[in-house]
Structure 1
Amino acid sequence: MIIGHEITHGFDNTGRQFDKDGNRIPWWTNETIEKFNEHNQCFIEQYSNFSIPEIDMNSNGNQTQDEDIADNGGLKAAFYAYQNWAKNNVNIDKKLPGLTKYSNEQMFFIHFGYTWCTRLSVSRIFNRLITDVHSLAHIRVIGSTSNFHEFDRVFSCKPGQRNSRVKKCVVW
């Protein structure tokens, strides 16, 4: 997921300003920029509506937009890479004790959530919300999975139910 996240940065508001050799040369057309900004606005609105009850504030989608898009793109890239790997390794289907009721694809998403498992003090939550360009860990999980149709398929979610958004934010 993290590798996909970092690759996605090559195609965000910062990455679009550098060519393949790392020279600061914008390479997107005006039409591409307009389309990107339209899709980006969906992320800004979505992530700005995540409530953080510990401090009675909402997340700031403007502040976190590039990282949120990279999280979403990274999750997709990692999942599709996993599916490709699984297709070529069909005989590997070992289950962990106590988790046998979950499919391998479900375990992929469970592990994704576990990767961001953290506990922060109220002061640390406030500090991160004000200063960090990344969303809080639980928002990174909820935001990315709620925009990904494969998550819905794997867990049999219907749009608007639990963690499945009716309007999914997608850039790439």
Structure 2
Amino acid sequence: MKQSAVVSKITQPYAEALLEMAQKYDIVETVNNDITLILNCLQNSTKLQQFLANPLVKKSSKKNFFEKTLAKEIHPYTFKFLLLVIDRGRISCLEIIAQKYQSLILKLTKTELAEVVTAVPLSSEQEAALNNIIKELTNANEVKLVFKIDQNLIGGFIINIGSKVVDASLLGQLLRIGNYLGLETV
């Protein structure tokens, strides 16, 4: 079994339990905001990730850290969940648990996450049109677009929705033409 499959088996129940608790107490949006805050903290601090993943750091130290930094910033149930994750020795998986929770929220709200890579920023009209097209294609209630700029595309765009990729970039077209002609690409 691959490492990622093992981690997924470990983290999925935590994310599901957190969502179940949030639904039970009708605080799904609040907990989602808390999880977003926690995820941002983790993604912006490698020192925090190392601290949480370090097995030599006592659980009480990790609890104290969260008590001092997040206890007043997040909902008490989210805080209790963090303490539970620490007690169970899974705090090193917190980032993955948070990501899985957000994925569950997207499924719950029938929201599709789409990454759009363009050579230049899109206008608000183009963003709205793209949003509507993706909404129709995916039958989603909502679409959350994440934009990235890659000037190497020259023009056009690439859309990533889950495992599906739509490459309508000039670079992609040139590469396909090159492959068709049997040219080596750089």
TM-score (norm 1): 0.26
Q: Which has the larger radius of gyration?
A: 2
Task: Name the structure with the higher helix share.
Answer: 2
TM-score (norm 2): 0.24
Task: Name the structure with the higher strand share.
Answer: 2
Which of 1 and 2 has higher RCO (CA within 8 Å, sep 6+)? Answer: 1
